[in-house]
Amino acid sequence: MTSTQQRRAERAVLMKLRLLGLGRNPLRRRVDRVESGVIIAVLIGALLAIPVAPGLGTSVREQADRTAAERKAQLRQVEARTVENTAEIVPSTPGQVTSQVRVVWFDATGLSGEGRAEVLIGTRAGTALTIWLDRNGSIARAPRESADSVALGVAAGFALLMVAWPLLWGGYRLARLSLDRRRAQEWEREWELVSPRWTRSQN
């Protein structure tokens, strides 16, 4: 790097520092330096939230996987067959994709069972499907799939960023309002001191 390039780099760094209130400037007041400190704290917080979000997402996913594994250990999977068509051919409400129908099954011991299970709308009688039974032999909700745990973790990570960044920005705006009031009060006090001399000099 030549001396000219080095001087340019030093000037660029000094300009960045002055923008953040870190440079030597006798015209900057204490309240200005406090505001610069708040800005730096907000920037650091926003940057720290970026690596924290994936960590939170991973933790949530792992916890969801453990919960799903524990639930799966308490259930057993059997093959069943529907004995009736779904009541609805098309969804009766927006977003509805499943309907309950009567199903029958035989477990590993050869015992039969009957109950109502959630199937996709439009499912016909005689359709084979897999269901989960609890320890009492009743139909239970299927344990969460691994893909669902991943989606939950991703959502948690994004949620952290979507909450942390607006909170940091809101905190800065509140601090800025308080600092602006303090700055206006200081200007008013200084004007009270300078105003008489200014008036005399004009006369």
Q: What is the pLDDT along the chain (203 residues), one digit of tens a residue?
A: 566 766 666 565 555 555 555 555 555 677 777 888 888 889 899 999 999 999 999 999 999 999 999 988 888 888 999 998 887 666 566 667 788 889 998 877 777 888 888 888 888 888 898 888 888 888 888 888 889 899 999 999 999 999 999 999 999 899 888 888 888 887 777 777 766 766 666 55
Residues 99 and 127 placed together within one structural domain of the fold: yes
Residues 93 and 82 placed together within one structural domain of the fold: yes
Question: Across-strand partners of 120?
Answer: 98
pTM given for the model: 0.63
Domain residues for the domain of 85 are 76-142
CB proximity list for 118: less than 8 A, separation 6 or greater? 98, 99, 100
CA distance 78 to 113: 10
Residues 95 and 179 placed together within one structural domain of the fold: no
Out of 124, 142, 160, a domain closes at: 142
Q: Is 15 a member of any domain?
A: no
Number of domains in the chain: 2
